[in-house]
Amino acid sequence: MQRGTPTIRDLARIAGVSIGTASKALNAGGRLSKETREKVLRIAREIGYRPNDLAQSLHRAKSRTIGIISNDSFGRFTFPIVEALEERLADERIAVFMCNATDDPGRERQHLDQLLGKRVDGLVVTARRADKRPPIGPLVHGLPVVYVFSQADDPDGLSLLPDDEGGAVLAVEHLARLGRRRIAHVTGPEHFEAVRLRRNGYLSALSAAGLPAIDGFYLSGVWSEAWGREAADRIFAKGSVHPDALFCGNDQIARGLADALRERGIGVPTDVAIVGFDNWDVMTLAARPPLTSVDMNLKALGREAGDRLIDMMSGKRVSGVSRRPCSLVVRQSSGG
């Protein structure tokens, strides 16, 4: 075997094909038989041949890279999306540059300038909340951009989001099937679009099940366990009608409520069933009892973002807002 880094000439010679054929096999291009393509790829692996990505990118005017801009510094929502996105793009030998803008427009512009300087082939914009935001900027006109768990105020943009309203319906339908008839909803700040959508789903599911929307059974606060404990004091005050089920806007609120009910001697799920939202295992599995929760299927969103970005990079026009189904993960807190 020759010393040094193997070249495409070495690969072609060992495989018994022309340099052009070897190049087509490596780049999934041209009309080659399956046997020839597989033979070239097998030998490339055996001799440790690695294509010169820089040279290829100059030849194709493609960098085989994409940029990700996020403001989710904690990573609760971004990490599952990016993990699945990277897995999908790796299948196409596309690398990823990730930047954290932390809700700073100036920092976002700086990251954008750097990514454009690297001649990325596309952008993914994600966030810690799915509310509308300004488009990423005029400099990326013509560059494929996918917003995932984020949405641009742009009719030509593509936004991939979880179906918050549908997720709420899943939660309430589950509780109603278990025979719960007084279902309360404790959630986060109403200026979040997700909060409003989940409330709509809660109310529509109650109506569909023939259940009342009881006064005082909808409470909006902050995303915290402390708010969950405070909400328990309000909902379970003496002399009031008490719920037999709680649908919570996130898992932190649900865990706070579960702790507060346990301190009051109220059994979960025997007296009150609880369902959270997000299916964040840090919360759901550590809660006592473990929480039933709505899963936004963020990895599925990440994979779809990869699919749509690849489509756009190949010249397809894709736009609009797509809300993808949530699922319900049932654990002990709902008794289901």
- What are the pLDDT digits (tens) for 46-84? 887 766 544 454 444 567 899 999 887 767 888 899 999
pLDDT at 30: 67
In degrees rounded to 5, what are phi and psi of residue 329? -105, 110
Q: How many CB atoms lie within 10 A of CB 296?
A: 27
**Burial, 217: exposed, middle or buried (Cβ in 10 Å; 0-12, 13-18, 19+)?**
buried
Collapsing DSSP to helix, strand or coil, 154 comes out as coil
Q: Which CATH number fits domain 60-162+298-323: 3.10.20.30, 3.40.50.2300, 3.40.50.2000, 3.40.1190.20?
A: 3.40.50.2300
CATH architecture of 8-51: Orthogonal Bundle (1.10)
The pLDDT assigned to 16 comes to 92
Tell me if the pTM is above 0.95. no
Residues of the chain within CATH 3.40.50.2300 domain(s) are 60-162+298-323, 164-296+329-334
**CATH topology assigned to domain 164-296+329-334:** Rossmann fold (3.40.50)
Count Cβ atoms below 10 Å from residue 212 Cβ, excluding itself: 11
The phi, psi pair for 200, rounded to 5°, reads: -60, -45
Residue 274 contacts by C-beta under 8 Å, 6 or more apart in sequence? 245, 246, 248, 254, 257, 258, 261, 268, 291, 292, 333, 334
- Which pLDDT does position 331 carry in this prediction? 97
Give the span between the Cα atoms of 238 and 159, in whole angstroms.
46
What are the residue ranges of CATH 1.10.260.40 in the chain?
8-51
**Positions of the chain with pLDDT under 50:** 1-2, 53-55, 57-60
